[in-house]
Chain A
């Protein structure tokens, strides 16, 4: 599996935007970039994913570098409920019925303060 590198921790103030970086210099052309987060005492939760173009959904935006060797998860207005560990994961597309998995790294612990 291609590896991702994320900062161990980041801090933000409430209501401010947060940019969570991820480096994946060994990404292959068929790897999708996925972001999951894990709130305290909960299971991981899907946030967003993309392949080449920037993506937006109700939770966040994903900005992907032109060479795809890095990406940034953007939380537009952080709230206290966004305090979690954020995981950047590369996944390759497998045909239906094929085996698949998520390979979690250590992620980025996001702290949000008032």
Chain B
């Protein structure tokens, strides 16, 4: 158990809908990262927040957005969902940034029908 929690574990929705994925980092970790894992693209970095502020962006679609709240939990919002958004979404946390270790949660499996 990494100490990072993600909810829900599974999510099934329809095209065009909007969903919110939630992540609680390990106690004391200030950084939260979001990754997407699909069969054709592998594991891809989406976005990084540090202490409530966005610090780095990957190939995150404009339909996706994220935020980190004062209690350090984070939410990833996915809107106007398409079939291709079906994937595993992982959240990771770390104490700071730099080259420190990232601890990953169990993931949320999103299925768009």
CA of A99 to CA of B60 in the docked complex: distance in angstroms? 15
CA of A101 to CA of B90 in the docked complex: distance in angstroms? 13
Q: A49 interface residue, CB < 8 Å from B?
A: yes
Across the interface, name the chain B residue whose C-beta is closest to A34.
Answer: B99
With a cutoff of 8 Å between Cβ atoms, the chain B residues found around residue A34 in the complex are 99
Q: Known: A44-B43, A45-B104. Contact between A101 and B58, CB under 8 A?
A: yes
Say whether chain B's binding surface is mostly helix, strand, loop, or mixed.
strand
With a cutoff of 8 Å between Cβ atoms, the chain A residues found around residue B103 in the complex are 46
CA of A45 to CA of B105 in the docked complex: distance in angstroms? 9
Range of interface residues on A (Cβ < 8 Å):
20 to 34
Which of B's residues lie within 8 Å of A, judged by CB?
A: 2, 4, 31, 33, 35, 42-45, 48, 50-51, 55-58, 90, 92, 96-99, 101-107
Question: What would 16 more interface pairs be, CB under 8 Å, given A44-B43, A46-B102?
Answer: A32-B99, A34-B99, A43-B104, A44-B92, A45-B2, A49-B99, A92-B99, A93-B99, A94-B99, A97-B97, A100-B48, A100-B98, A101-B48, A101-B58, A102-B35, A104-B44
